[in-house]
A and B are shown apart, each in its own frame.
Chain A
Amino acid sequence: MADQKDSKPLMTGYMMSTQLMEVDGCNRCQECMKWCPTFAVRQDRPGITPMYKNARWRELMAKSHSLRAKIFGAKPLSDDEMKVFTEDTYSCTTCGVCGTVCEAGIKTVELWEAMRPNLVKRGDGPVGKQPFFPKLIKGDRNPYMAKQEERLCWVPKDAKVQESGELVYFAGCTAAYRQQALGVATVRILNNLNVDFAMLGKDEWCCASALIRTGQREVMAEHAVHNIDALKDAGAKNVLFACAGCLRNAAIDWPMWYEGYIPYETMPLSVFLRDKIRKGEVEYKIPLNYRFTYHDPCHNGRHLMHLKGKDWAFEAPRECVQSIPGVKFQEMVRNRALQRCCGAGGGVKAGIPDLAMDCAKARVQDATDIQAEVVASTCPFCRLNLIDGRNAAKSPIKMVDIVEMMAASMGLDTTIPENPYTKFQSQDVLVCTPTECKLDTVERKEPGKDLVGEAH
């Protein structure tokens, strides 16, 4: 006997009518299955692939909206089938490679992100630890249960950071509380280049990517509106991001929640730095004698390429890496628009951590296959997951951010001042003497504390 929840039809309200059409537009060519990073590590579950998710959505919707349902009445949805469909829908990192290769031109990231709130509203999603996101983010304005007034606690005393200005650096929660080396390196480079810039401090709220990715949209509006208003109040004309997840949200998601005029441009830090490199303003002092490869973060690459172009998305970070003396650079087989996702995005790291781990191991293997010693990237969250994957795979490969690479090679002091979050720092770092830089790993001093990993 169907209970009350069974009688609820599939919700469609968060999907645009053209997205409902897109579901029917899938011609089952199977191309997405060849590229899907989660299916690559879960071959026994074709249901997680776009082709099967579309087919399943069609079937579930047909129970209430087919010609048969109109004539004979709607069929109830069972808990079991909704549970399977929900797990399949959330076993997706929203990396978007399926959309890149889709013959029908389906905008898959937007499609999955529109399916999820319907599942949330019906009471089927989200999964794992994802339900904590709204409460954490609304309560603390960041997912790490950290204090907003300590957002800039990592900024060195001698660093020059303004409270307002035309150029603003939006650090993001992970750089502020968990990968402060990235924040320090960014500030040091900008200071070294004599660039005047501002930071929002406690007025910088979480970009709320985790909420959008997991279909929990209720707190999103507050964060989008607040951050845009804060940037406008600071007088921003150009906003720099060293976090791919924050960048995607600021460039693509926030504007959809904001009704007013947005007077600033959003820009990856790599593009800004490349411009400085091309002008000859960046002076390197120490070579980085390692074999590097570059992992394209989905949010900074495939998601951004339609908005900002492939040059910004793929070429700028590569130029930054290759500009550093001593770097031996080689591409992984899957790169740029067809890269393999690290596995952390779409809420998967918090929702289905073993899946995120297996994807990360697969990406680490990609780097191992080309004998890379270091994987460079521009996403703190990719880096975090790849480090976890590397540790699980017992691989010697290190993961660093290109901003930290540049700061190290420029001979800048990237020491993080002691602060309440020092004990949570855990990452690969470059430790430099005046003549050479060596790779090292900083282990976390205090376990636990994070209830959930942030999701991008």
Chain B
Amino acid sequence: MAFYTLGLTFNLVILLTVIVLAVWIYGIYFNFKKWGLGSTGYHDQLRNSFWLFLATWIHEAFKDGIWVFLRTVVLDVLLLRRTLARSPVRWAMHMSMFYGFLMLAALSGLGLMIDIVEHFNLLGLEEQAAMAKDLLSLPFDIFGYLLLFGATIAISRRILLKFVRDNTSAYDAFLIGAVFLITVTGFYAEWMRGNSFLLGNAFSYPIYAPHFALIHTVLALGLFAFILPWSKYIHVIATPMTLLANRGGE
């Protein structure tokens, strides 16, 4: 089955991936530099530096030692302890979205690596790479459903709970809507390929599967590189960094 369509070639996809990553990295650098407009300590003089932001963050994050840092990584960043303390429903939502998103991103990266191995027959592993790619479809499905579960709770909360709905801004609606849309298009692309974990080939339509996959990819990469670092959605990066800098806020 053709994976690339509308004139896209493998090399072009690699080039686009590099561009997207470069834009994302520049976005992160841009934010770090903006945060560097602050001082390095209470009542200290202004530094205005990307590097001194990093130094300040490292100083704050490791202020109480490596064990406190590691404890914060596990309890607050990976297990979202503070969210659980406030609302188990919101915790389930965040955990689903966080791990769904993170694992899908990791699997996508892995898939790209395997694609490269397969395409260039690196180390003569072309066949094994093709087999490994097939093995990825199950975890893709599992984490996709996880993300969908979280996104569904998020949307339901915004629609059903009056207090939450009243204080939902266009930003909130856009982000949750975009995540939901990307997840659904990802699923639909898989279903069209006819190799869905739960649905088999019920929605199989292989001719247009690459087109739909392309739409999904463009949406996902667009959100990742062209919106996330340049908007309030930078909280995806800033929140875990804040938890670490404040040693979990405790």
Contact = CB atoms under 8 A, between A and B. Distances in A.
Interface of A: 12-22, 24-31, 33-34, 46, 51, 55, 58, 61, 65-67, 99, 101-107, 217, 256-257, 306
17 contacts: A13-B46, A15-B38, A16-B41, A16-B56, A18-B242, A22-B246, A25-B238, A25-B243, A33-B167, A65-B34, A103-B80, A104-B82, A104-B242, A105-B250, A107-B249, A257-B43, A306-B250
B210 interface: no
Interface in B193-250: 230, 232, 234-235, 238-239, 241-243, 245-246, 248-250
Interface string B41-85: 111111100001100110010000000000000001000101100
B152 interface: no
Contacts of B45: 13
A102 B235 CA distance: 13
Contacts of A107: 246, 249
B120 interface: no
Interface of B: 30-31, 34-47, 52-53, 56-57, 60, 76, 80, 82-83, 86-87, 90, 94, 163-164, 167, 169, 171-172, 230, 232, 234-235, 238-239, 241-243, 245-246, 248-250
Contact of B249 (A31, A34, A99, A257): A99
B202 to A, nearest CB: 37
Contacts of A99: 249
Contacts of B242: 18, 21-22, 25, 104-106
Given A21-B57, A26-B235, 13 more contacts: A16-B38, A16-B56, A17-B35, A17-B39, A21-B242, A22-B245, A28-B171, A30-B163, A103-B80, A103-B94, A105-B243, A256-B42, A256-B43
A55 B232 CA distance: 8
B238 A18 contact: no
Contacts, number: 132
Contacts of B41: 16
A15 B37 CA distance: 9
A18 B57 contact: yes
Nearest to B26: A67
Contact of A31 (B86, B172, B241, B250): B86
B34 A25 contact: no
Q: Which of A13, A25, A46, A306 has its CB near the most chain B CB atoms (within 10 A)?
A: A25
Nearest to B46: A13
B4 to A, nearest CB: 31
A104 B76 CA distance: 9
Contacts of A24: 31, 35, 232, 234-235, 238
Contact of A21 (B52, B94, B241): B241
A27 B238 CA distance: 9
B231 to A, nearest CB: 9
B43 to A, nearest CB: 7
A17 B167 contact: no
A256 B43 CA distance: 8
B38 A17 contact: yes
B contact face: mostly helix, strand, loop, or mixed: helix
A20 B43 contact: no
Contacts of A106: 242, 246, 249
Contacts of A30: 163-164, 167
B99 to A, nearest CB: 16
A217 B56 CA distance: 23
B35 A21 contact: yes
Contacts of B31: 24
Contacts of A22: 238, 242, 245-246
Nearest to B36: A17
Question: 10 tightest A-B contacts by CB?
Answer: A105-B249, A25-B242, A17-B38, A25-B238, A24-B238, A17-B53, A20-B35, A105-B243, A20-B38, A15-B38
Contact of B83 (A18, A46, A103): A103
B235 A16 contact: no
A13 B249 CA distance: 23
Contact of B43 (A14, A28, A61, A67): A14
Contacts of B234: 24
A18 B60 contact: yes
Nearest to B72: A105
Nearest to A22: B242
A316 B60 CA distance: 31
Given A30-B163, A67-B30, A103-B83, A14 B235 contact: no
B56 A18 contact: yes
Contacts of B40: 16-17
A344 to B, nearest CB: 25
Nearest to A10: B37
Contacts of A103: 80, 82-83, 86, 90, 94, 239
Contacts of A34: 163
B43 A17 contact: no
Contacts of B36: 17
A33 B90 CA distance: 15
A66 B230 CA distance: 8
B43 A102 contact: no
A67 B30 CA distance: 8
B238 A105 contact: no
A217 B37 contact: no
A20 B83 contact: no
B32 to A, nearest CB: 8
Contact of A105 (B38, B94, B232, B246): B246
A18 B245 contact: yes
A33 B238 CA distance: 21
Q: Which of B39, B41, B167 has its CB near the most chain A CB atoms (within 10 A)?
A: B39
Contacts of B249: 99, 102, 104-107
A106 B139 CA distance: 34
A55 B90 CA distance: 21
Contact of B243 (A12, A26, A61, A104): A104
Contacts of A17: 35-40, 47, 52-53, 56-57
